[in-house]
Amino acid sequence: MRTFYTSLIAFFFLACQSPTSHEANGAERTPQNGKQDWAIAIHGGAGGMNRENLPEAKRLAYEASLKSAIDQGIKMLEQGADASSVVEAVIRIMEDDSLFNAGRGAVLTANGEVELDASIMRGSDLQCGAVSGIQNIKNPIMAAKLVMDSSKHVFLSGKGATAYALEHGLEWVDNSYFITKTRWELYQERLQTKGVKEVGDNPISKKGTVGCVVLDRQGHLAAGTSTGGMMMKEYGRIGDSPVIGAGTYADDRTCAVSGTGHGEYFIRRAVAHEISARMMYAREDLHEACEAVVLHELKDMGGDGGVIAVDTMGNISMVFNTEGMFRACADANGKREVGVFR
């Protein structure tokens, strides 16, 4: 009898000590050597690209661009740079690369212009900065970081955002700098077909939003996103990319997230914040939260797209409900991945 009671007490003691299912899942997915010193993930847009419709040469070109952008991030993280500086530097490289729909290479609005959106957020103090409908500023992500670091505001738009960036010394370019031959031809084609013909035959023609999420060596998170938005968008339309909580979010208590896809759905679902909130309140781990939001919540309402995310342990999640997402990730333990398809 005494043995029975001892066992019963031992059982209750162990039951109280055993991890919750969240912790058990988290532990399973935690990198083998414990917390990562640093981790980084980037995306270059999600869409309908697959092994059949994306030419090999294009895939290789995207992979090379992703690799050179993430290599810069790795170098900075190894040297101890802070998370938001890494996000800014990596996104700048992708904005300058005309393959992506951000900075040079952005898609055009219905009236043939370029209007750029970007945002950045720091997980340590929830500071953030965003710009929308910005023109003439070579690197919108720098404008977003400027708003975060130097202004008393969080979000500037249009002419005011451009003026603020110029006053603070950011580089001016003529708007024609952003417009590439490929995007211009696509715009002309869309004008002629007046939207009757979808550009489904070209899986990457209107894709390429860029984003970056980082855990730095000091244990802080940051996220950023930059885009030209959606092809043929209405003049003045604002997507999810500059909306904190929709396309971008970072909180040192949970994770850093950057999204890409049909922005209206990302805003309605508050996708990036929803992932953080699921971790915070529902005690889900990073993968569970990203999958629940992207593969179920977003998909069930018809929103296509994906996210990249990193948590405070350096776990990385890259989830999409489209056929492909241009992406790459790396961590201090030697993980190096570049991918396009499922």
Least spacing, CB of residue 181 vs ligand ASP, in Å: 20
Least spacing, CB of residue 36 vs ligand ASP, in Å: 27
Whole-number Cα distances in Å, 205 to 52, 171, 188: 16, 27, 13
Q: Which stretch binds ligand ASP (CB under 6 A): 16-24, 190-198, 233-241, 321-329?
A: 233-241
Per-residue tokens: 215: 């855990």
Contact set for ligand ASP, span 154-183 (CB under 6 A): none
Active centre residues (catalytic):
209
SS3 state of residue 102: coil
306 is a site residue for ligand ASP (CB under 6 A) = no
Q: What's the 3-state SS for 165-200? A: HHHCCCCECCHHHHCCHHHHHHHHHHHHHCCCCCHH
The DSSP element (H or E) to which 129 belongs, if any, is strand 128-134
Question: How much is the CA Rg of the chain, to the nearest whole Å?
Answer: 21
- Please say which residue, 261 or 314, places its beta carbon nearer to ligand ASP: 261
260 is a site residue for ligand ASP (CB under 6 A) = yes
- Please say which residue, 220 or 262, places its beta carbon nearer to ligand ASP: 262
One character per residue 42-81, x = contact with ligand ASP (rule: CB under 6 A): ---x------------------------------------
| Number of shown-chain residues binding ligand ASP (CB under 6 A) | 13
Q: Which stretch binds ligand ASP (CB under 6 A): 51-59, 77-85, 258-266, 282-290?
A: 258-266
Least spacing, CB of residue 247 vs ligand ASP, in Å: 6
One character per residue 199-228, x = contact with ligand ASP (rule: CB under 6 A): --------x-x-----------------x-
Q: Which stretch binds ligand ASP (CB under 6 A): 34-42, 259-267, 274-282, 295-303?
A: 259-267
How many whole angstroms separate alpha carbon 233 and alpha carbon 198? 14
How many whole angstroms separate alpha carbon 123 and alpha carbon 118? 17
- Cβ neighbors of 100 (< 8 A, separation 6 or more) are 44, 45, 65, 94, 208, 209, 210
239 is a site residue for ligand ASP (CB under 6 A) = yes
Sign, CA dihedral 249-257-157-194, equals negative
- Please say which residue, 162 or 209, places its beta carbon nearer to ligand ASP: 209
263 is a site residue for ligand ASP (CB under 6 A) = yes
Do 284 and 255 meet the contact criterion of CB atoms below 8 Å apart?
no
Of 103, 129, 229, 303, which one interacts with ligand ASP (CB under 6 A)? Answer: 229
Sheet harboring 316-320: ordered strands across?
Answer: 248-250, 255-261, 305-311, 316-320
Q: Which stretch binds ligand ASP (CB under 6 A): 57-65, 180-188, 257-265, 328-336?
A: 257-265
98 is a site residue for ligand ASP (CB under 6 A) = no
Q: The tokens 């296509």 sit on which residue?
A: 304
- For residue 201, the 8-state DSSP code is G
Residue 337 β-bridge partners:
329
Per-residue tokens: 122: 């720091």
Binding site for ligand ASP (CB under 6 A): 45, 207, 209, 227, 229-230, 239-241, 247, 260-261, 263
